[in-house]
């Protein structure tokens, strides 16, 4: 082979390599862009499952005047049992709140079942644009809707 043939072969190899790298980068960015809504949907489904678990484990049968599930000022409050083995015994109040400014859904846990107990705040879901909770007229169903710019999740729960 002559030197010119060698240079032409290297130039072709460089052009092919550059095209392949460019194609791989485009594929990676497109995959990440399409995977993000799926990750948000999975996290929103996990939040709805957490609410379901709180409702199911909240069978205290105590004072009938105090509802186990309530919605006040957009916050969902559920009187439930602690889910962790090392948690304090007795009722726990979980309050799900939406921070519009931050676009975040958070859960506040209060030991002792009252907002005056020890408080623990956990972030649950980011990039939330809408949070809506409603309790049916007969206090038998709870409907929760969570939305982002790209996705929305809605679920109804039967109340005890």
| Per-residue exposure over 114-150, b if at least 16 CB sit within 10 Å of its own CB, e if not | eeebeeeeeebbebbeebebebeeeeeebebbbbbee
Q: What is the model's pLDDT at position 142?
A: 95
Q: What is the predicted pLDDT for the residue at 48?
A: 96
- Domain contains 7: no
CB atoms within 10 A of CB 40: 20
Question: Is 141 contained in some domain?
Answer: yes
Determine the average pLDDT of the residues in 68-83: 87
Entry pTM: 0.74
Number of domains in the chain: 1
Q: φ, ψ for residue 26 (rounded to 5)?
A: -60, -40
Cα Rg of the chain, angstroms: 25
50: in domain: yes
Which stretch of 51-65, 68-82, 123-137 has the lowest confidence by average pLDDT?
Answer: 51-65
φ/ψ of residue 25, rounded to 5: -65, -45
Task: Report the pLDDT value the prediction gives residue 129, as an integer from 0 to 100.
Answer: 95
Q: What percent helix, strand, coil does the chain show, rounded to 5?
A: 35, 35, 35
Has residue 21 been placed in a domain?
no
Query: What is the band of 99 on the pLDDT scale with cuts at 50, 70, 90?
Result: very high
- Per-residue confidence at 63, pLDDT binned at 50, 70, 90? low
More confident residue, 15 or 65: 15
Instruction: Classify burial at 94, counting beta carbons within 10 Å of its beta carbon; exposed 0-12, middle 13-18, buried 19 or more.
Output: buried
Q: Is the residue at 42 inside a domain?
A: yes
| pLDDT of amino acid 86 | 52
Q: Does residue 90 sit within a domain? A: yes
Contact 93, 109 (CB under 8 A): yes
Pairing of strands 141-147, 130-135: antiparallel
* Residue 10 maps to a domain: no
CA distance 145 to 154: 4
- Looking at the domain assignment, is residue 17 inside a domain? no
DSSP secondary structure code for residue 41 in this structure: H
Lowest model confidence (mean pLDDT) among 59-68, 86-95, 113-122: 59-68
Average pLDDT score over residue span 14-42: 89
- Enclosing domain of residue 57: 35-158
């Amino acid at each position: 082979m002559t030197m010119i043939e060698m240079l032409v072969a290297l130039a072709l190899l460089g052009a092919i390599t550059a095209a392949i790298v460019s194609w791989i980068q485009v594929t990676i960015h497109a995959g990440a862009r399409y995977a993000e809504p799926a990750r948000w949907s999975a996290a929103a489904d996990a939040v709805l499952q957490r609410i379901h678990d709180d409702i199911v484990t909240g069978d205290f049968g105590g004072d009938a005047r105090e509802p186990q599930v309530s919605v006040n000022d957009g916050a969902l409050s559920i009187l439930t049992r602690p889910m962790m083995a090392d948690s304090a015994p007795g009722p726990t109040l979980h309050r799900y709140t939406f921070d519009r400014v931050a676009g975040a859904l958070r859960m506040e846990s209060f030991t002792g079942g009252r907002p005056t107990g020890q408080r623990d705040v956990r972030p649950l879901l980011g990039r939330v644009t809408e949070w809506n909770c409603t309790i049916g007229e007969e206090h038998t169903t709870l409907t929760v809707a969570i939305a982002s710019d790209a996705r929305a999740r809605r679920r109804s729960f039967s109340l005890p």
